[in-house]
């Protein structure tokens, strides 16, 4: 079961971005400065991507170009039960990951528009180290949220970085600086970082640590306003299709000055296929808003209020055979706000069918309660549970993956439609 876009705080989020007492201030000069800074940063990112793109186009085979190999163009459309809809599009390549999206309200609410990207200008020159640059912006009426990040890593793994977040109608701005080190011992990779963070007028110290190999992953981090930990396991290949994988992610936002949700998200699949459950993707969620993991770039602007192009994979996208996701969100006191369990099964794959029937999935979900924040359905009443069923398919035709899902909530009698496509470069 899917949660409603506007009211869902992602389990990968960095911080609460708004409170019940959203404080406004005269931010006009800061707004102009932040907007100008972001415009300059985005122009720089675009220039870097154009330079890389020109080199790729001039290559004999752009598919084998280091700038495009393994990349994709991702687009999806989601129509909600009340008539609202969202569109999200992004380019995902080894050198640039960025895009834009919009949420259109048909019921009197303000539309939300967002765009941004991350670049690695030194991709083909590893002897110079690695440079990570990112900028994002969210626009909703007069409200503007801006984020800029950057980090340079020496060839020996030592990195230095920093960034800021500016929110026009909230005092919950953020600034940070960090020092990190990543390396490998035998088949074990590790990352250690130490950071300073200024958030809502307070200074915090903190840091993150991660250790992983091909099968196991474990992380922990604390930045003063939240702590988070992740565990991941990817089994060796058992059969051609059977390869179980699981990720457990816990984020506690209740420890800081603001105080907010605690979220537990458990995702798993019997048919691991890289992507969402890969350790590289997990690191993006596990290393916090300052992690700057290019494999899965996530920053502070990564919530329902401040969305990002880097969407979370839907349950049917995370693998084959059987996929599931469980989310438990509680408030600062620990009282549950909502529990959601979703699962999808591919009957044809289990039966060994490799044609189109093998791409069809069926599934459902339970959300309890369905009418509290965040809730799945815009039609649900407060404290009303929700049970849904869905059917769809996900299949590649040549270079294009397509997926369609129709979902119906039986308790409130509404239907949602999701359409997505990915063009693999």
pLDDT in tens, 132-177: 999 999 999 889 999 999 999 999 999 999 999 998 877 778 899 9
Dihedral angle over CA of 188, 250, 71, 315, nearest 10: 120
- pLDDT at position 62: 57
At 406, the pLDDT band (50, 70, 90 cuts) reads very high
pLDDT tens readout for residues 233-283: 999 999 999 999 999 999 998 876 666 788 999 999 999 988 899 999 999
Residue 340 · residue 365 · CB < 8 Å: yes
**pLDDT at position 1 over 50:** no
How far apart CA 178 and CA 197 sit, in angstroms, is: 9
If we measure between CA atoms, which residue out of 357, 368, 425, 424 comes closest to residue 394?
357
What is the span of the domain harbouring residue 218? 5-424
- pLDDT at position 172: 77
pLDDT tens readout for residues 81-120: 667 889 999 999 999 999 999 998 887 778 899 999 999 9
- pLDDT at position 288: 87
* 53-57, 99-103, 190-194, 384-388: range with lowest mean pLDDT: 53-57
- pLDDT at position 84: 82
80 against 174, higher pLDDT? 174
**pLDDT at position 21 over 80:** no
Enumerate residues 6+ apart whose C-beta is below 8 A from 199.
Answer: 15, 172, 173, 174, 224, 225, 256, 257
Extract the tokens encoding 423. 């063009």
- pLDDT at position 255: 76
At 25, the pLDDT band (50, 70, 90 cuts) reads very low
Task: Look at the chain and report how many structural domains it folds into.
Answer: 1
Enumerate residues 6+ apart whose C-beta is below 8 A from 163.
Answer: 134, 147, 148, 149, 150, 175, 176, 290, 299
How far apart CA 228 and CA 223 sit, in angstroms, is: 9
- pLDDT at position 372: 43
At 375, the pLDDT band (50, 70, 90 cuts) reads very low
pLDDT tens readout for residues 294-344: 999 999 888 777 889 999 999 999 999 999 999 988 876 666 678 889 999
If we measure between CA atoms, which residue out of 187, 249, 259 comes closest to residue 218?
249
E strand residue ranges, 253-311: 262-272
- pLDDT at position 170: 76
Answer whether 0.85 is exceeded by the pTM. Answer: no
Mean pLDDT within 30-41: 50
At 20, the pLDDT band (50, 70, 90 cuts) reads very low
Mean pLDDT, the chain, integer: 82
- pLDDT at position 17: 32
At 38, the pLDDT band (50, 70, 90 cuts) reads low
**pLDDT at position 60 over 80:** no
Most confident among 30-39, 357-366, 379-388 (mean pLDDT)? 357-366
Q: Considering just the CA atoms, what is the radius of gyration of the chain in Å?
A: 21
pLDDT tens readout for residues 190-231: 999 999 998 877 888 999 999 999 999 999 999 888 899 999
Share of the chain above pLDDT 70, in %: 79
pLDDT tens readout for residues 184-200: 999 999 999 999 998 87
């Amino acid at each position: 079961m899917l949660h409603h876009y506007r009211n869902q705080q992602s389990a990968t989020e960095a911080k609460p971005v708004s409170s019940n007492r959203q404080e406004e201030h005269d931010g006009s000069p800061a707004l102009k400065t932040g907007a100008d800074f972001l415009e300059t940063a985005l122009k720089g990112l675009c220039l870097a991507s154009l330079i890389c793109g020109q080199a790729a186009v001039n290559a004999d085979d752009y598919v084998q170009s280091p700038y495009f190999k393994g990349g994709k163009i991702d687009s999806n459309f989601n129509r909600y039960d009340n008539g609202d809809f969202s569109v999200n599009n992004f380019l995902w390549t080894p050198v640039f990951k960025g895009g834009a999206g919009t949420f259109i309200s048909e019921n009197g609410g303000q539309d939300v528009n967002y765009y941004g990207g991350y670049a690695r200008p030194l991709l083909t020159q590893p002897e110079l180290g690695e440079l990570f640059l990112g900028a994002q912006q969210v626009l909703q009426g007069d409200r503007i949220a801006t984020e800029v990040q950057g980090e340079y890593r020496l060839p020996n793994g030592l990195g230095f970085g920093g960034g800021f977040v500016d929110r026009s109608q909230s005092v919950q701005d953020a600034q940070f600086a960090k020092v990190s080190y990543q390396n490998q011992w035998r088949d074990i990779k590790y990352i250690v970082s130490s950071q300073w963070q200024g958030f809502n007028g307070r200074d915090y110290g903190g840091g993150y640590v991660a250790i992983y190999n091909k099968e196991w992953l474990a992380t922990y981090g604390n930045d003063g306003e939240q702590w988070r930990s992740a565990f991941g396991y990817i089994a060796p290949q058992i059969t051609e299709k059977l390869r179980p994988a699981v990720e457990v992610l816990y984020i506690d936002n209740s420890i800081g000055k603001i105080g907010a949700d605690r979220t537990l998200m458990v995702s798993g699949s019997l048919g691991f296929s890289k992507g969402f459950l890969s350790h590289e993707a997990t690191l993006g969620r596990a290393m916090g808003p300052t992690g700057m993991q290019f494999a899965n770039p996530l920053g502070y602007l990564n919530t329902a209020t401040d969305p990002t192009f880097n969407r979370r994979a839907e349950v049917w996208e995370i693998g084959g055979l059987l996929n599931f996701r469980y989310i438990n969100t509680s408030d600062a006191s620990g009282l549950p706000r909502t529990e959601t369990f979703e699962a999808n099964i591919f009957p044809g794959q289990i039966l060994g069918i490799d044609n189109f029937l093998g791409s069809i999935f069926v599934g459902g979900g339970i959300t309890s309660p369905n009418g509290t924040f965040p809730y799945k359905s815009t039609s649900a009443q407060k404290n009303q549970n929700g049970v849904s069923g869905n059917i769809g398919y996900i299949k590649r035709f040549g270079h294009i993956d397509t997926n369609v899902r129709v979902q119906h909530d039986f308790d409130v009698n509404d239907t949602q439609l999701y359409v997505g496509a990915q063009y693999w470069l």
